[in-house]
Amino acid sequence: MKAPLLSALVLTLTLISAGAAWAQGSSGFPAPVGSPPVFYDHASTLEEGVLRGGGDLLRGIGEMNYNNAAAFILGQEGYSRYLDNRLKGAATYFDLRKLNREARAEERGQRPTAKDIARYARLRTPDRLPPVHFDAARNRVVWPEVFNHSYFADEREQIDRLMAAGGSGPEAREIQLLAAQMVEKLRAVVHNIQPGEYAAAKRFLTSLQYEMNFTPGAVGIAAR
């Protein structure tokens, strides 16, 4: 009787191993195992019951060890994938930053050289008043026609008095401030002036402010 029981025990363990191998091969990871109950149609003797109980105990211990090992493997695989995802997330973040820097650099174009910056500065520097608008011998401003209107009379007359007083030092500073006020007044009536006339008047006031930087003791302000 013992020989058939041992054969049955070996067959059961073989089936468990085969089932585990099949589960691992089909999914790529070890799957948990559990032996189905075994039913017999005859009464058990003492020896058979002892052997069956021992076999079930050994099978249970084996399945527990196997399932614990499978759970550990799956846990490590999950942690490994978690680390991979974090690595991919970090790499994606820095790749996007790099792409953003490259795109912004392409939009900005090549960085200007020192010569380019100097040339840009010269282009942005206003022109000085031409002789047609500034009588240097008599230190007198020759106003364009648009500023002879009574709308600009207050600032125009104050500038003429300051120029007659020498137009240098504090007078030059005051002339620049008055010219800036005239720029604001000119903007307020922009719709009543021809575009070309407005542009020429604006350039004249900018040049007038800039001209005051060349008088002794003058402190310039930026034309607006």
Burial of 158 (0-12, 13-18, 19+ CB in 10 A): middle
Nearest CA to 134 among 163, 95, 105?
A: 163
Q: Is residue 138 part of a domain?
A: yes
What residues make up the domain containing 57? 2-27+44-106
Q: Is residue 121 part of a domain?
A: no
How far apart are the C-alpha atoms of 139 and 163, rounded to whole Å? 6
Q: Are residues 12 and 49 located together in one domain of the fold?
A: yes
pLDDT band at 38 (very low <50, low <70, confident <90, very high): low
Q: What is the pLDDT of residue 34?
A: 66
Q: Are residues 102 and 130 located together in one domain of the fold?
A: no
Number of structural domains in the chain: 2
Q: Are residues 101 and 139 located together in one domain of the fold?
A: no
Read off the pLDDT of each residue in 6-19 and give the average, rounded to a whole number. Answer: 50
Q: What is the pLDDT of residue 184?
A: 96
Last residue of a domain, one of 106, 135, 152: 106
Span of 32-36, 85-89, 160-164, 182-186 with lowest mean pLDDT: 32-36
pLDDT tens for 134-171 read 888 888 999 999 999 999 999 999 999 999 888 788 88
pLDDT band at 218 (very low <50, low <70, confident <90, very high): very low
Q: Are residues 14 and 102 located together in one domain of the fold?
A: yes
Q: Is residue 38 part of a domain?
A: no
Q: Is 11's pLDDT higher than 80?
A: no
How far apart are the C-alpha atoms of 10 and 30, rounded to whole Å? 22
Q: Are residues 131 and 101 located together in one domain of the fold?
A: no
Q: Are residues 10 and 90 located together in one domain of the fold?
A: yes
Q: Is residue 39 part of a domain?
A: no
Cα torsion 182, 188, 194, 200 to 10°: value is: 30
For the whole model, what pTM was predicted? Answer: 0.46
pLDDT tens for 184-217 read 999 999 999 999 999 999 999 999 999 888 876 4
Q: Are residues 99 and 131 located together in one domain of the fold?
A: no
Q: Are residues 153 and 93 located together in one domain of the fold?
A: no
Burial 20-43 (b: 16+ CB within 10 A, else e): beeeeeeeeebbebebeeeeeeee
Q: Are residues 21 and 71 located together in one domain of the fold?
A: yes
Q: Is residue 33 part of a domain?
A: no
Q: Are residues 97 and 132 located together in one domain of the fold?
A: no
Q: Is residue 117 part of a domain?
A: no
Q: What is the 3-state secondary structure (H, E, C) of the chain?
A: CHHHHHHHHHHHHHHHHHHHHHHHHHHCCCCCCCCCCCCCCCCCCHHHHHHHHHHHHHHHHHHHHHHHHHHHHHHHHHHHHHHHHHHHHHHHHHHHHHHHHHHHHHHHCCCCCHHHHHHHHHHHCCCCCCCCCEECCCCEECCCHHHHCHHHHHHHHHHHHHHHCCCCCHHHHHHHHHHHHHHHHHHHCHHHCCHHHHHHHHHHHHHHHHHHHHCCCCCCCCCC
Chain-centroid distance of CA 10 in Å reads: 66
Q: Are residues 139 and 99 located together in one domain of the fold?
A: no
Q: Is residue 112 part of a domain?
A: no
